[in-house]
Amino acid sequence: MEKWYLMTAVVLLGLTVRWTVSLNSYSGAGKPPMFGDYEAQRHWQEITFNLPIKQWYFNSSDNNLQYWGLDYPPLTAYHSLLCAYVAQFINPDWIALHSSRGYESQAHKLFMRATVLIADLLIYIPAVVLHCCCLKEISTKKKIANALCILLYPGLILIDYGHFQYNSVSLGLALWGVLGVSCDWDLLGSLAFCLAVNYKQMELYHSLPFFGFLLGKCFKKGLKGKGFVLFVKLAGTVVASFTLCWLPFFTERAQALQVLRRLFPVDRGLFEDKVANIWCSVSVFLKIKDILPHHVQIIVSFCLTLLSLLPACVKLTLQPSPKAFRFTLVSCALSFFLFSFQVHEKSILLVSLPVCLVLSEIPFMSTWFLLVSTFSMLPLLLKDDLLMPSVVTTMAFFIACATSFSIFEKTSEEELRLKSFSVSVRKHLPRFTFLPRIIQHLFIISVITMVLLTLMTVTLDPPQKLPDLFSVLVSSVSCLNFLFFLVYFNIIIMWDSKDGRNQKKIH
Amino acid sequence: MAALSVMTGGGSWFLALALGVTLLKCLLIPTYHSTDFEVHRNWLAITHSLPISQWYYEATSEWTLDYPPFFAWFEYALSHVAKYFDQEMLNVHNLNYSSSRTLLFQRFSVIFTDALFVYAVHECCKCVDGKKACKELTEKPKFILSVLLLWNFGLLIVDHIHFQYNGFLFGLMLLSIARLFQKRHMEGAFLFAVLLHFKHIYLYVAPAYGIYLLRSYCFTANKPDGSIRWNTFSFVRLISLGLTVFLVSALSLGPFLALNQLPQVFSRLFPFKRGLCHAYWAPNFWALYNALDKVLSVIGLQLKLLDPKKIPKASMTSGLVQQFQHTVLPSVTPLVTLICTLIAILPSIFCLWFKPQGPRGFLRCLILCALSSFMFGWHVHEKAILLAILPMSLLSVGKAGDASIFLILTTTGHYSLFPLLFTAPGKKNLFLIGWKLSTSLAWALWKSSVNLYSLSPPGS
């Protein structure tokens, strides 16, 4: 495509921002004895390099599972092993068994940050660039602006390059999956997505839309002919990729079970720490954890999650299209985030990725959502001393979106994809014309609340009796915003097909 | 919502660029900073805690005050804000004091004073007119110029990583150039005089200013063929120019003249004892000269033409800042470098005098003066290449030929700034990424400007 040099500049700008953020502190820096996620990743390199595969997920004298035991699927372990080989080549002290616990140095930080950058560069960034180039019906300039905004999304940058994680690998693989499946390369797409799930089990949040979309495609092609063949091929791909990743753990039944127990810690409870989902917010008023017994909690959360995502997924299966697929990814992941079990605040990134994909279609609402998602992680970012990069990257993202998409001019009913919904409502309530204005007001209220809460959290000390006041406020406010978005995205999906046809007629 | 939409509407790309680069500068706060950080902290301390009579004599720290008085006053003004951040940094004896608040204050002071640079770029954009109505934003000369200047990568690493205050100084220079373009000559001259008393490195380009103002301002009209019309000489203009320069200098050097400290001030400003080359070798002619000398001496030693006992111990290549002699080739004195520089700028000065081409010709001469002084000057810093790169940006959006030269100049110039970041390998990555970014940007803009101007007749 023309203007490749502008796209290069955009990618390099994204890399520059990422690297400057990585100069800041990381999770658990200088905080013995447990440190944080950074130490966890280093520890996994130590474990995978020094111990045989059979001992990776088991408790032993060499592998104390209480100290950052492996709790991601095997692909993470293989990735850590690869990094460990490089570390061994540069400085074996970094991964020496036992003696490297809590190792911190400038050189090591550089190495770890470099591993994140390389993984990002190889997996996530090409997927983003390809996605933007494949967007239809928009000019080249808008494609590049889209890439800029997605690459500047603060949440992913701050968590991967600040707090320290490898979300760009799993999100990048999932994105490749989305791209493959949308462009009718179903087998490659599902392979990529299986790899993503095998990297981080949270990617299962995206699995139902994938399943629904691919099943819908099979139905469309006819269950007796090509559809059935496709179904068998897809099933084969999934089984093959899982087998390949889990091969070393299939030797004994106990192995596979132990890995599953580590991946899905059902005894850990409904939620840990303050997270912007329903359970945490409701527990402010009603201590659910104490009222309901454990197994009831699991059942309730399972049912609620399923109920909230079922309509969209069913619709996707019946009427599969790439556009509906992307929106369903959003609503499904958001349902999981709000209602599921043991959700961490970083899981909002699983919702942010699909929202980035629909940035070009509903820029105003997407930008709003992405700002809230970054804000919802504020307590975590403050704990890691990342206030300055958070504020700066959020402002940069906002400016980039505002100038690229002129978001404040795109708040009419049609722009918000709410036309057919409003038309349906107007059949019963003729005066229902004020929806855009309500949404605009809500946006302003939301932004002001977020700014105020940020200022308060940074400058004031919480009262003695309520030491978690600000974290709770942040998570509750974010939860309210997310509920609103859940409703909004579901409305778009359910009232969608009429929209698409009308718009094509207008053009 | 309407107000917000107006704010983020079509014409606000300049604001977006300026805000964007400011945010990037904020992200660069925790990066490596060089000894220049301590230099400026020391000057804050000197100007705050000591009386004026001590400013150019104070030598507790090795980083003595060696900028003209206006810069000292600037540091004095900053120190009054600094005391709200961290009182300790203003103590002269707190050598190498760098608490987090000190770092924050110093970095923010650079970012804040860059506002003058942004204003100057805004004024320069007014001087660049888009002859063709371009619909594409990325092909408008104003946009290209804003990106080249605001996001100038060399300025970013020198000011916001290495740590210096060049932003607002270049702002003054660009503003004075813009005023000359806008035919507001008195303001341009005034601004340049002020600039000289902030940082005397701008003496490199003073001949261009002098000759241009004399030729194109004091002589109010030309003959039809462009040569001088002697009877249009305006004494009034000459005297007003002279008065401006004199008053500015009086304001700056007056107090020190009264204290009889002028020789000391000048010895601080022009430290000829520092040696031909700066510690990290500016890539100029004398660097090649030194390298040749070294190579010849090695060859001479091998072929036993030289006596090893006669070779001086300190050599150019050890990276020290001191005076010494060459072994094989004749030694170079400050006078020699001055003569070489003068010879190098003579052709462009002649053109400026005999065939003035208005402000564009002046700009070309200015760039050539900067480059010549860089090539042949005594104790040149590699940062001085920015003096050539920034004005060249202005020229490059005018003609395709200039854009090509600019591409080479900016790439090599920024590459030559690499040694400024020699510590901390992490910063090397940042540099490489940033350098690739700036190169690709320059390439991108060159391509679009070539497209733009390939349709216009050459020599426009």
pLDDT, one tens digit per residue, over A440-452 is 899 999 999 999 9
The nearest alpha carbon in chain B to A444 belongs to: B1
- Give percent above pLDDT 70 in chain A: 97
Instruction: Kindly indicate the confidence band of residue B460, based on its pLDDT and cuts at 50, 70 and 90.
Output: very low
Chain A hits for B1, Cβ within 8 Å: 408, 411, 440, 444
Residue A97 lies in a domain: no
Number of A–B residue contacts, CB under 8 Å = 93
Ramachandran category for residue B231: left, alpha or beta (phi over 0 → left; psi -120 to 50 → alpha): alpha
Chain B hits for A13, Cβ within 8 Å: 437
The nearest alpha carbon in chain A to B439 belongs to: A9
Residue among A388, A403, A411 whose CB faces B29 most closely: A388
Residue A148 lies in a domain: yes
Residue that wins the pLDDT comparison between A35 and A504: A35
* A7: nearest Cα among A210, A147, A205: A147
Chain A hits for B23, Cβ within 8 Å: 392-393, 395-396, 399
- Residue A256: is its pLDDT beyond 50? yes
Residue among A5, A113, A395 whose CB faces B23 most closely: A395
User: Residue B8 and residue A23: Cβ atoms within 8 Å?
Assistant: no
Cα separation, A3 vs A140, in Å, equals 8
Residue that wins the pLDDT comparison between B447 and A351: A351
- Residue A1: is its pLDDT beyond 50? no
* B404: nearest Cα among B366, B453, B355: B453
Lowest average pLDDT, out of A20-29, A475-484, B226-235, goes to B226-235
Residue among A13, A24, A407 whose CB faces B30 most closely: A24
Distances, alpha carbon A307 to alpha carbons A213, A335, B184, B365, in Å: 18, 9, 73, 75
Highest mean pLDDT among A165-179, B308-322, B351-365: A165-179
Distances, alpha carbon B156 to alpha carbons A12, A161, B27, in Å: 15, 22, 12
Chain B hits for A17, Cβ within 8 Å: 24, 27
User: Residue A403 and residue B8: Cβ atoms within 8 Å?
Assistant: yes
- Residue B173: is its pLDDT beyond 90? yes
Lowest average pLDDT, out of A378-382, A416-420, B233-237, B274-278, goes to B274-278
Judge whether B91 and B83 are in contact, CB under 8 Å: no
Chosen for mutation from A3, A11, A16, A21 (greatest number of chain B CBs closer than 10 Å) is A16
Instruction: Kindly indicate the confidence band of residue A505, based on its pLDDT and cuts at 50, 70 and 90.
Output: very low
pLDDT at A253: 78
Number of domains chain A is built from: 1
What single-letter DSSP state applies at residue B104?
H
Tokens describing residue B328: 């094989």
Instruction: Kindly indicate the confidence band of residue B458, based on its pLDDT and cuts at 50, 70 and 90.
Output: very low
User: Residue B8 and residue A408: Cβ atoms within 8 Å?
Assistant: yes
B432 in contact with A at a CB cutoff of 8 Å? Answer: no
Tokens describing residue B322: 């001191």
Cα separation, A500 vs A414, in Å, equals 11
- Residue B4: is its pLDDT beyond 80? no
- Give percent above pLDDT 70 in chain B: 80
Cα separation, B370 vs B385, in Å, equals 8
Residue A43 lies in a domain: no
Instruction: Kindly indicate the confidence band of residue B351, based on its pLDDT and cuts at 50, 70 and 90.
Output: confident
What single-letter DSSP state applies at residue B330?
P
Instruction: Kindly indicate the confidence band of residue B156, based on its pLDDT and cuts at 50, 70 and 90.
Output: confident
Tokens describing residue A346: 């970083």
pLDDT at B35: 85
Residue among A12, A21, A24 whose CB faces B433 most closely: A12
Cα separation, B393 vs B153, in Å, equals 12
User: Residue A20 and residue B27: Cβ atoms within 8 Å?
Assistant: yes
pLDDT at A287: 79
Lowest average pLDDT, out of A339-353, B144-158, B267-281, goes to B267-281
Cα separation, A11 vs A122, in Å, equals 12
The pLDDT of B160-186, averaged and rounded, is: 92
- Give me the DSSP letters along A287-315: -HHHHS-HHHHHHHHHHHHHHHHHHHHHH
pLDDT at B421: 67
pLDDT at B432: 61
B9 in contact with A at a CB cutoff of 8 Å? Answer: yes
Instruction: Kindly indicate the confidence band of residue B316, based on its pLDDT and cuts at 50, 70 and 90.
Output: very low
User: Residue A409 and residue B20: Cβ atoms within 8 Å?
Assistant: no
B29 in contact with A at a CB cutoff of 8 Å? Answer: yes
pLDDT at A501: 47
- Give me the DSSP letters along B253-322: HHHHHHTT-HHHHHHHHS-GGG-SB-TT--SSHHHHHHHHHHHHHHHHHHTT-S-GGGS-S--GGG----
Nearest-CA distance A402 → chain B (Å)? 6
The pLDDT of B104-129, averaged and rounded, is: 91
* A171: nearest Cα among A133, A209, A214, A126: A126
Range of the domain at A296: 2-29+104-496
Chain A hits for B13, Cβ within 8 Å: 403
Give the 3-state DSSP-derived string for A42-74, with helices as H, strands as E and coil as C.
HHHHHHHHHCCHHHCCCCCCCCCCCCCCCCCCH
**Summary mean pLDDT of chain A:** 88
User: Residue B1 and residue A15: Cβ atoms within 8 Å?
Assistant: no
Give the 3-state DSSP-derived string for A388-428, with helices as H, strands as E and coil as C.
HHHHHHHHHHHHHHHHHHCHHHCCCCCCCCCHHHHHHHHHH
Nearest-CA distance B19 → chain A (Å)? 8
The pLDDT of A35-52, averaged and rounded, is: 91
* A264: nearest Cα among A343, A339, A207, A333: A343
Nearest-CA distance A389 → chain B (Å)? 6
Instruction: Kindly indicate the confidence band of residue B456, based on its pLDDT and cuts at 50, 70 and 90.
Output: very low
**Predicted TM-score (pTM) of this structure:** 0.89
pLDDT at A443: 93
User: Residue A113 and residue B27: Cβ atoms within 8 Å?
Assistant: no
Nearest-CA distance B225 → chain A (Å)? 45
Lowest average pLDDT, out of A191-195, B323-327, B347-351, B361-365, goes to B323-327
User: Residue B426 and residue A12: Cβ atoms within 8 Å?
Assistant: no
B331 in contact with A at a CB cutoff of 8 Å? Answer: no
Residue A245 lies in a domain: yes
The nearest alpha carbon in chain A to B435 belongs to: A12
pLDDT at B449: 55
User: What sign has the CA pseudo-torsion A24, A30, A34, A40?
Assistant: positive
pLDDT at B306: 65
B443 in contact with A at a CB cutoff of 8 Å? Answer: yes
* Each residue's pLDDT tens digit, B124-133: 998 887 666 6
Chain B hits for A400, Cβ within 8 Å: 16, 20
Residue among A6, A19, A396 whose CB faces B430 most closely: A19
Instruction: Kindly indicate the confidence band of residue A147, based on its pLDDT and cuts at 50, 70 and 90.
Output: very high
Residue among A6, A15, A114 whose CB faces B433 most closely: A15
- Residue A411: is its pLDDT beyond 70? yes
Residue among A12, A24, A396 whose CB faces B440 most closely: A12
pLDDT at A431: 76
Cα separation, A243 vs B247, in Å, equals 84
Give the 3-state DSSP-derived string for B50-74, with helices as H, strands as E and coil as C.
CCHHHHCCCCCCCCCCCCCHHHHHH
Lowest average pLDDT, out of A424-433, A482-491, B186-195, B431-440, goes to B431-440
Residue among A6, A23, A117 whose CB faces B444 most closely: A6
- Residue A332: is its pLDDT beyond 90? yes
pLDDT at A390: 94
Instruction: Kindly indicate the confidence band of residue A504, based on its pLDDT and cuts at 50, 70 and 90.
Output: very low
Chain A hits for B20, Cβ within 8 Å: 396, 399-400
pLDDT at B7: 53
Chain A hits for B138, Cβ within 8 Å: 3, 6, 141
**Stated length of chain B:** 460
* A493: nearest Cα among A349, A356, A338, A310: A310
pLDDT at B235: 87
Residue A434 lies in a domain: yes
- Give percent above pLDDT 90 in chain A: 46
**Summary mean pLDDT of chain B:** 81
User: Residue B434 and residue A16: Cβ atoms within 8 Å?
Assistant: yes
- Residue B110: is its pLDDT beyond 80? yes
B30 in contact with A at a CB cutoff of 8 Å? Answer: yes
Chain A hits for B12, Cβ within 8 Å: 403
Return the residue matching tokens 């720290």: B61
The nearest alpha carbon in chain B to A439 belongs to: B1
B424 in contact with A at a CB cutoff of 8 Å? Answer: yes
Residue A120 lies in a domain: yes
Identity of residue A396: A
User: Residue A20 and residue B447: Cβ atoms within 8 Å?
Assistant: no
* A456: nearest Cα among A439, A443, A474, A438: A474
Cα separation, A438 vs A410, in Å, equals 14
Residue A303 lies in a domain: yes
Instruction: Kindly indicate the confidence band of residue A427, based on its pLDDT and cuts at 50, 70 and 90.
Output: confident
- Residue B313: is its pLDDT beyond 60? no
Where do runs of H (alpha helix) occur along A98-185? Answer: 106-119, 125-133, 140-151, 154-158, 167-182
pLDDT at A499: 45
pLDDT at A506: 45
Cα separation, A209 vs A353, in Å, equals 14
User: What sign has the CA pseudo-torsion A454, A455, A457, A462?
Assistant: negative
User: Residue A403 and residue B436: Cβ atoms within 8 Å?
Assistant: no
Residue A76 lies in a domain: no
Residue that wins the pLDDT comparison between B336 and A498: B336
Chain B hits for A399, Cβ within 8 Å: 16, 19-20, 23
Nearest-CA distance A169 → chain B (Å)? 21
The nearest alpha carbon in chain A to B448 belongs to: A3
